[in-house]
Amino acid sequence: METETITITLEKETVACKKGMTLYELSREYQKNYEYPIIVAKCDGVIRELYHEVPQDAHVEFCTTKDKDGARVYFRGISMILLKAIYKEIPRENIERVSFEFCLDTGYFCRIDGAVEMNEELLRRIEMRMRKYVAKDIPFEKKVIRTRDAGRLFEELHMHEKGKLMQYRKNSRMTVYHLGKFTDYYYGAMPYSTSILQYFKLDLFEDGFVFIIPKSDSPVTMPEFSPSMKQYRTLQETNEWSRKLRVSTVGELNQEIVSGHMQDLMLTQEALHEKKIGDIAVQIAERNCRIVTIAGPSSSGKTTFSYRLSTQLKTLGLKPHPIALDDYFVNRVDTPRAEDGTYNYECLEAIDTRQFNKDLGMLLQGQTVQLPTYNFVTGCREYDKEPLTLEENEILVIEGIHGLNDKLTYAIPKENKFKIYISALTTLNLDGHNRIPTTEGRLLRRIIRDARTRGNSARKTISMWNSVRAGETLNIFPFQEQADAMFNSALIYELAAMKLYADPLLFQVTPDCPEYSEAQRLLKFLDYFIPIDPHDVPLNSILREFIGGGILLG
């Protein structure tokens, strides 16, 4: 009797395979064609775990540990191994909560609350047990159960945050994962088994520990852990805000929404932002700085922040003058080009730093300067502004990608500069074990803003995101520790407020697009949130920069 076969497209090749064959079995046959281990597959643009059967007539792509989707799966797999080891080494009754709080450099900061003394000896025992699980090649088993049964299960396991998350799920059924006798819930696909998860390390850090895994661009090399302590303190401050507001997870946020407490939560969060901005303004005034530079990654809310900072500076008797760094672009014919031949406006060489420093120096000396305006149509600088003279109580506020890089203001004495780093560093997580990457909120902010102000589709914004992130890695993140102050623009409630804007845009991405799987991932993620009325967002909120309707930017 002949074996029945089916036909698929694997990458760009037509392949016949045995009916009933799993994606894992197929991946073993083709692993030799890939430099890094295959960890998950895409079937017609949808992420599928390898235990699934190969679907008839599907377009199949394998994702390795170097791919973005593969790296996410690797992280989730390591997370479950770590939790299984923790609950094996520490009696469950001694653990109140295990939380993966935020990403810090190449590590993920974790805390174990309860009757637990975290020390080097305990951490080494946990790591050794993890390595034993990897060596045993334990399969990750997926099981679909009723959502209410899952809620009860996690309450019995003292994982109360998961129980609260399940309480607001609309789907009647959901998936849980088993790793041996350990059970947990994860948002997103998991690996086939533990043997692929060989690269990790645990280190004590502050009042918890970090687990370090390879970066996606080098998935078999363990990186150094060199955290930004300023960023760590900023994230811890935000965590403390969340704990005081009793909203650290999506389940707790949803509870606030259904309880009718959202307006109070919004106003409190915005007041915390305003207090922080005011504190930064006081630091600037006390140091008598004449130049303030503001830098941060895409969709951090830099423009709204600069308006609100300027308002706070005015309350201290100072008069801020904004200077747009874009006005100091070199003429287009002199602009460096990227590898693909397009103009590279993000590199420092695209800025006429010589003229910029000359003008700033003259202003600090009390001289009158004619500042330029860059004409994006002609690609040349023009001089049509009123001349500027900087009086004693006046300061310059400069927003731009290179604001933290001293090469931008090389001729200005350090005592005259105050550098601010701003980013949207969300510390809200789905639950203790399912963290929300800090880039998630920024990407959704940009999708909404680009659709509103530039007419860009979600597909186009998603397609550009990797390039945007690469520019940030090169031009912004290496300089964040040099900042005099950091401001976290993330808002606890913003994802619930953005849901009504983002969903229609993401649904427009069709299955034939390369960006389809990312759009579907974001839609699934947003499904955890109960939406709130965006009209309730305060009119001066940083979120208004993206959803519109604000009093600062419109």
- Could you tell me which of 347, 342, 528, 521 has the C-alpha nearest to residue 443? 521
- Could you tell me which of 264, 279, 267 has the C-alpha nearest to residue 539? 267
With a cut of 50, say whether residue 464 has pLDDT above it: yes
Query: Is 506:447 a contact under the CB 8 Å cutoff?
Result: yes
Question: pLDDT digit string (tens) for 217-226?
Answer: 889 899 999 9
3-state secondary structure labels for all residues of 266-290: HHHHHHHHHHHHHHHHHHHHHHCCC
Residue 554: predicted pLDDT: 56
How far are the Cα atoms of 73, 74, 342, 427 from residue 70, in angstroms, in the given order?
5, 6, 30, 23
How far are the Cα atoms of 261, 321, 438, 531, 542 from residue 265, in angstroms, in the given order?
6, 33, 21, 15, 15
Per-residue pLDDT averaged across 395-408, rounded?
A: 93
Query: Is 209:119 a contact under the CB 8 Å cutoff?
Result: no
How far are the Cα atoms of 52, 61, 81, 262, 443 from residue 47, in angstroms, in the given order?
11, 9, 21, 35, 20
Instruction: Dig out the tokens for 509 from the structure.
Output: 């991405």
Query: Is 444:495 a contact under the CB 8 Å cutoff?
Result: yes
With a cut of 90, say whether residue 357 has pLDDT above it: yes
Banded model confidence at residue 168, pLDDT cuts 50, 70, 90:
confident
One-letter amino acid at 422 equals: I
Neighbours of 9 (CB within 10 A): 14
Residue 209: predicted pLDDT: 97
With a cut of 50, say whether residue 1 has pLDDT above it: no
Banded model confidence at residue 134, pLDDT cuts 50, 70, 90:
very high
Q: How far apart are CA 401 and CA 55, in angstroms?
A: 46
Query: Is 445:505 a contact under the CB 8 Å cutoff?
Result: no
**Cα angle at 266 between 265 and 271, to 5 degrees?**
100
Per the confidence metrics, is the pTM higher than 0.85? yes
| Higher per-residue confidence, 414 vs 11 | 414
Beta strands in 201-254 (DSSP E): 201-205, 208-212
Residue 162: predicted pLDDT: 85
Residue 3: predicted pLDDT: 61
3-state secondary structure of 15: strand
- Could you tell me which of 293, 306, 411, 421 has the C-alpha nearest to residue 352? 411
* CB neighbour list of residue 121: distance below 8 Å, 6 or more residues apart: none
Please list the residues that pair with 64 across neighbouring strands.
38
Question: pLDDT digit string (tens) for 98-108?
Answer: 999 999 988 99
Q: How far apart are CA 134 and CA 61, in angstroms?
A: 25
Lowest mean pLDDT: which of 145-154, 288-297, 382-391, 419-428?
Answer: 145-154
With a cut of 80, say whether residue 13 has pLDDT above it: yes
Q: How far apart are CA 415 and CA 423, in angstroms?
A: 24
Banded model confidence at residue 450, pLDDT cuts 50, 70, 90:
very high
Percent of the chain with pLDDT over 90: 79
Question: pLDDT digit string (tens) for 22-56?
Answer: 999 999 999 999 999 999 999 998 999 999 999 99
Residue 2: predicted pLDDT: 52
Residue spans of alpha helices (H) in 246-394: 250-258, 262-287, 302-315, 353-364
Question: pLDDT digit string (tens) for 518-552?
Answer: 999 999 999 999 999 999 999 999 999 999 999 88
Mean pLDDT score across all residues of the chain? 93
One-letter amino acid at 382 equals: E
DSSP assigned state of 113: E
Residue 521: predicted pLDDT: 93
One-letter amino acid at 262 equals: M
- Could you tell me which of 502, 498, 489 has the C-alpha nearest to residue 301? 489
- Tell me the helix, strand and coil percentages in the chain, rounded to 5: 45, 20, 35
How far are the Cα atoms of 249, 436, 462, 492 from residue 526, in angstroms, in the given order?
14, 11, 16, 14
- Could you tell me which of 458, 463, 459 has the C-alpha nearest to residue 68? 463
Please provide the distance, in angstroms rounded to a whole number, between the alpha carbons at the two ends of the chain.
71
Residue 487: predicted pLDDT: 97
Most confidently predicted of 148-157, 229-238, 277-286:
277-286
